[in-house]
Structure 1
């Protein structure tokens, strides 16, 4: 197989037809309608000039389309990545716009390298170790931080960039006396129009006999409508001059000029040491959010994305962002959902979107001169509003309080401290919960159901027990982290049952046992014998039995036995008691 044949895009195009190309073209155009204003808004969120958001959606998009395993994932500027970037660079106190951009480019490069390193180490399943509640708590708090950071544009006030949630809130409160009312009117109006286009307008256009592709384009045209409508309003009324409405201003036409970014570029190890942590966190969040979006969309087609291939694609895409002289990126939930809904069949839809971005940079940039910053702020606010998942708190509270606590802890860590600390807190909590659950397996004392050969938890079912036999089921493999918990449980049950003569450890759910566990169980058998209790095993799986045969445990277990079933154990021990 050649390198070209191994590329995911080649697989997608294997049975490509003209109808598929038409659907991809329509989806690509529809996505670009959302993407163009969103990219500019996310660039401002990252503290970068608006055109850099458009640059971020060209070369990286082509690279991801070539290498990505998702049909519909739309990569480019993303709200979470942008706010982390702004916070991280602000902490470095850049002395000029050029230095700020230089830091952003280096972070893109390092994030890409971290993603490629994760691919080299085959860490595609890394996301399995970060719980959904932790991610939900982080994204909800980050969304609130993003929304709050954009209120300065909607209110028309000046506050510093890169502030955390509390600092931004205090700065906004102090600035309320300086609100620019025309700007506020434009911002609120833009939010209302965007809400209308999202909630009500799609149902309205369905009443007309329009082609499906046109309905989709019109239904997603809200951002473009507010962009061009507000720009025309400001230009005609000259609100930027008469009322102080802040506008986007001149966007350089054409593709990016990389001379200023890469002139004098060299490997600055000291700078990379400062940027390593934020770059790693950006790489991690890029992968987590992208794989979550890509997997959810792939499941709708009964397909799967390849996590390790995604690490490669996202890593190369971020390196492409660095080469383009712009900032780090990730998969976008809102744009990817639009791509799927618009009927995208392959990554060619993303290529079409990138071509639309190029056309915009070459031809349409003069139209954005009078675009109010309040409108871009409104677009960002409305884009991230759906990331706030209040229902998840109630759901976790009902299912598992520990998950709810971890969600809330991550949420408040982001708000009280900053996003970087919030990410670290979330990761640590995920690891702590994983370790805690692994070290505290579910254990149940079981009894016979009627006269049957079935045994169930005595706390959940009406069962028959024998006061001389304690049957205990462990619903987990036994290894160094949980064997002490299991031993303590067994000894507590023996203390609670003074007439017990036998303990049967049911191993039906035990698929693995390590050396530490074997030693601990041997010692437990000896402790029980000293108190007049015999230790037995039942329903030991073949692989575990093979492990035990390679040790001395079977001999040391005697006079304890290993029974094929729990029913056999209970009947045999009951008979021996009668004979004794």
Structure 2
């Protein structure tokens, strides 16, 4: 807790204060917009940005993370609660907080149990597919708000505001930084200034609506924002614990995954070391804080964290400054926010989520590994066609399924010696020499219940192609583990080969694997020998032939 405070330097203060102020300005429109995505009043987005930030600063380890509302988590929240209550109802608000509590408890428990490694079960292509599908879904859902009515019945003034805001935000994203640099700003300041375009646009939109009374002609606005800090909330619905369990697990998992993907990238730039399990605890505490604030599940936003980093954040104090400024904004009169038009908030959501789209991963995966590319597309399609929860489950199953499929079909190479050396390579890739009667096979995967039959089948195929084989050597340099099923498979293979007059040898068995094998009957029953190296096996078996 507060480990960063022990080594705090006075020289960091200016950067933390500046970053905290910049992110606070960014958080106001973004938090309110993501609250709308979650089906909650806009002020809930600000509530979700105060206590969570403070609690993450106590327990988290990243100096750049900005914890609060995030588009994909907001969408998952809406997807989980829509079947249980009407958006905006008191029950809906209660369940949103309860979902944050349960997600926080899941994250906290995983951190205390040191289960941070579970994040490794989502591959990058599947994660990219989930982001792709979610971003498209969020953008599509905001079209009605952007245009003031569902297609094709546009509301003219609303559509003009929404589409105009959309165009300005796109221009700011693409050309804002370059324009500010031409005006004399340094590159870092120009990038930060361009990212503050949504806040400037919100202020401009409020002025336009107020000056022209656009709300009187049908432009929807957020209305009165309650002043004051959020009250302590302990409301839960006892009837919905079981129904919220699965979405809480999924949201907790996604909160951690999304947070870590950004945190690791920023930590690498600063040379920091992240403590995975402490991050779980920090995110868990942040979500419990969001529950206490009457808000909804939160995680770190990559875009805000990047701004926090660029603005000079040196420690978690930057997050504390952001939280205090947002709290001060609620303490002050909030009537000026009432005319904020919903079409402009919809435009900020669309630009933010479409900015998360990237096709580089798909293009790379398509060239490098079609299975990963298909998993990416299937995950995106699952989110779009089946819903967010189904998409998350599909993505997880695809990640595990792809891994199991690959491990169940290990590459097995016939080896030969490169002339004049002790190096042995795949005969299909190198010019090598082989010896009659000796077959060297390298197994390029761990041996477990899922691939032992495939390995034995590959061995039989290789023996069929080399009918004069008397000595078979399995080179296990790439085998990190052999489970019980694979052990019995090797014993069966040894017995079958012995029945046919062939000897089975092992070579280059790794130490931990050998330690396990010594606890079994295989070394004693092996018809051949266990060699330290492939070269030793080659020499010994060649000598025997002579």
TM range (shorter): over 0.9
- Relative distance call for 1:214 and 1:409 in structure 2 (3 A) is closer
Pairwise CA distance, 1:461: 1.4
| Residue in structure 2 matched with residue 504 of structure 1 by the alignment | 473
Structure 1 partner of 2:144: 152
Q: Deviation of residue 209 (structure 1)?
A: 4.7
Aligned to 1:256: 230
Q: Secondary structure at the match of 1:446?
A: strand
CA deviation after TM superposition for structure 1 residue 469, in Å: 1.6
1:327, CA displacement in angstroms?
A: 0.9
* TM superposition shift of 1:216: 5.7
- Equivalent of residue 59 in structure 2, options 57, 60, 67: 67
Alignment equivalent of 1:231, drawn from 206, 218, 223: 206
SS in 2 for 1:489: helix
Q: Is the 8 A contact 2:442 2:475 kept in 1?
A: yes
Q: How many pairs align?
A: 546
Larger deviation: 470-479 or 330-339? 470-479
Partner of 1:52: 44
Asked whether the 8 Å contact 1:30–1:216 carries over to 2, the reply is no
Counterpart among 162, 170, 173 of residue 198 in structure 1:
173
**1:135 positional shift:** 0.8
Aligned partner of residue 468 in structure 2, secondary structure:
coil
Q: Could you tell me which residue of structure 2 aligns to residue 21 of structure 1?
A: 13
Distance 2:87 2:163 in 1: 34
Aligned to 1:87: 79
Matches of residues 132-531 of structure 1 in structure 2 within 5 Å? 132-157=124-149, 172=150, 175-176=151-152, 178-209=153-184, 215=190, 218-242=193-217, 244-258=218-232, 262=234, 265=235, 268=238, 270-363=239-332, 365-531=334-500
CA deviations 1:192-236 (Å, max 9, x no partner) are 222232222222222445578865653332011110111111111
Pairwise CA distance, 1:128: 0.7
Separation in structure 2 between the aligned mates of residue 520 and residue 152 of structure 1, nearest angstrom? 61
> What 5-or-longer segments of structure 1 have no aligned partner?
1-6, 158-171
- CA deviations on 1:272-307 (whole Å, 9 max, x unpaired) are 011111111111111110111111111111222111
Contact 1:141 1:388 in 2 (8 A): no
Structure 2, unaligned runs of 5 or more: none
Does the residue aligned with 1:387 lie in a helix, a strand or coil? Answer: coil
Q: Residues 46-66 of structure 1: CA distance to partner in whole angstroms, max 9, x if unpaired?
A: 111011100111111100011
Q: Deviations over 1:449-480 (max 9, x none)?
A: 12221111112112222242210011233233
Task: Please state whether the residue corresponding to 1:504 is helix, strand or coil.
Answer: strand
Number of the residue aligned with 1:565 = 533
The 1:394–1:210 alpha-carbon spacing in structure 2 relative to 1, beyond 3 Å, is closer
Q: Which residue of 2 aligns with 1:576?
A: 544
Shift of 1:14: 2.9
Shift of residue 311, structure 1, vs aligned partner: 1.1
SS at match of 1:573: helix
Structure 2 residue matching 1:200: 3-state secondary structure: helix
| 1: CA distance, partners of 2:533 / 2:188 | 63
Deviation at 1:548, TM superposition (A): 2.9
Deviations 1:379-424 (A, max 9, x none): 1111111222222112111111111111111111111110011111
CA RMSD in angstroms comes to: 1.9
- 2:60–2:278 Cα contact (<8 Å) kept: yes
1:129 maps to 121
Match for residue 40 of structure 1 among 19, 23, 32: 32
Shift of 1:267: 6.3
Instruction: Write out per-residue CA displacement over residues 128-179 of structure 1, whole angstroms, 9 at most, x where no aligned residue.
Output: 111111111111100000111111111111xxxxxxxxxxxxxx5xx31x10
Instruction: Name the CA distance, whole Å, in 2 between partners of 1:85 and 1:549.
Output: 52
Using the TM superposition, name which of 507-516 and 65-74 deviates more. Answer: 507-516
Aligned 8 A contact 1:26 1:213 in 2 = no
C-alpha distance in 2, partners of 1:213/1:353?
20
Distance 1:437 1:200, change over 3 A: same
User: 2 CA distance for matches of 1:95 and 1:506?
Assistant: 62
Please state whether the residue corresponding to 2:242 is helix, strand or coil. helix
